[in-house]
Amino acid sequence: MSTNVLVIGGGQNAEHEVSLASAAAVGSALRSGGFAVTAVTIARDGTWIQEGVALGAGAAGSLAAAVALIDRVDVVFPAVHGALGEDGALAALCALAHTPVVGSGSGAGAIGMDKWVTKLVADAVGIRTAPGIAISVDEIDDLEFDEDVVVKPVSAGSSYGVTLVRDAAQLRSALRTAAEYDRRILVERVMRGREIDVAVMRDADGTVWAPPPLEIHAEGLFDTAAKYDGSARFTVPAELSDVDRRALTEAALTMFDALGCAGVARMDFFLTEDGPVLNEVNTMPGMTAASQVPRMFQAAGVAYPELVARLVHSAVVPALTPVVR
């Protein structure tokens, strides 16, 4: 009997369209691998939709119907990026329903989504991050700076709301842009270095490993536009010395373990003259065949259909208690 996988796409945040692409690609790959796939979309208003029909009336009614659907499948694959998805919300729902889910549990998802708390965890395990501060929207008019900074929402993905600020006159506008996505804002010193991604996966047998790292080549900031307009280039495997490759891989594996991640996660670094500096963690990264994570696993000999199949086989019922080692 085929494993029945519920693939969830969409979501109630700025990454809705990106998530739809990930979910469609995951569903297609799983079907080609012999899995039985049930696909649902979470609309921007929170309504769950299956084959164009809302599951119940309104967000609450459709959520109740979705829980019954979750109970009927073998595994849930929540390809929902950003808030109310990647942040552990859907993993918590699956935990309450005792249904295995692909990816990290609610604790790792919530911490990984919060860039400020991620920095605190990284510091606790000896991984460098960019010096910075977190402020609330109420403090926007009080902030000043005397160096180049990057302004970003504390909890948002796909670089939405991220601005590189080189002129003090730009700061208020950048802060207000970030505030459109989160009431908490992160202001970090600009890091000079190569942008390197490292993917980490936990297989069904418990083995945790990383494929070859990927380097991002972009003109200026690797922002939302650069991520999706095709202007950025990727090199995989990244051309790295053995020392740098080991340092990046060890840092990625350490963060994966410290956060208690499961499934697959992408760790984004700046490779500086002094070694790796963690930028952020993605516990449900982009999952089309052309996304960074599948590119890295392809370089390790794991084709896209095999990658998503391995993620399904590694799914477990997540714990509701956050795990930070």
State the Cα–Cα distance between residues 142 and 187, nearest whole angstrom.
13
Taking phi over 0 as left and psi of -120 to 50 as alpha, with beta for the rest, 316 belongs to beta
Q: Which structural domains are found in the chain, ordered by start?
A: 4-103 (3.40.50.20), 110-128+191-313 (3.30.470.20), 132-185 (3.30.1490.20)
Between helix 115-124 and helix 242-259 the angle, nearest 10°, is 110
* Higher pLDDT pick, 73 / 59: 73
65-123 per-position pLDDT tens digit: 999 999 999 999 999 999 999 999 999 999 999 999 999 999 999 999 999 999 999 99
Helix (H, G, I), strand (E, B) or coil at 204: coil
Find out whether 177 and 192 touch, Cβ atoms under 8 Å. Answer: no
Helix (H, G, I), strand (E, B) or coil at 196: strand
State the Cα–Cα distance between residues 148 and 20, nearest whole angstrom.
35
* pLDDT beyond 70 at 259: yes
310-320 per-position pLDDT tens digit: 999 999 887 65
Find out whether 305 and 33 touch, Cβ atoms under 8 Å. Answer: yes
275-303 per-position pLDDT tens digit: 999 999 999 999 999 999 999 999 999 99
Q: Alpha helix locations (H) across 7-56?
A: 16-32
Strands (E), the chain: 4-10, 36-42, 48-50, 53-54, 75-78, 132-136, 149-153, 163-165, 184-189, 194-202, 208-209, 214-217, 233-235, 264-272, 275-282
Mean pLDDT of 46-70: 92
State the Cα–Cα distance between residues 323 and 205, nearest whole angstrom.
20
What pTM was computed for the model? 0.90
Using 50, 70 and 90 to split pLDDT, how confident is the model at 260?
very high
* pLDDT beyond 70 at 227: no
Find out whether 42 and 75 touch, Cβ atoms under 8 Å. Answer: no
Query: What confidence score (pLDDT) does residue 158 get?
Result: 66
Query: What confidence score (pLDDT) does residue 231 get?
Result: 67
* pLDDT beyond 70 at 251: yes
Of the candidates 120, 118, 119, the one whose C-alpha atom is nearest the C-alpha of residue 107 is 118
- SS3 assignment for 152-163: EECCCCCCCCCE
Using 50, 70 and 90 to split pLDDT, how confident is the model at 168?
confident
* Higher pLDDT pick, 1 / 123: 123
Find out whether 306 and 201 touch, Cβ atoms under 8 Å. Answer: no
State the Cα–Cα distance between residues 172 and 162, nearest whole angstrom.
13
Determine how β-strand 53-54 pairs with β-strand 214-217: unpaired
Residue with the two structure tokens 């790959």:
29
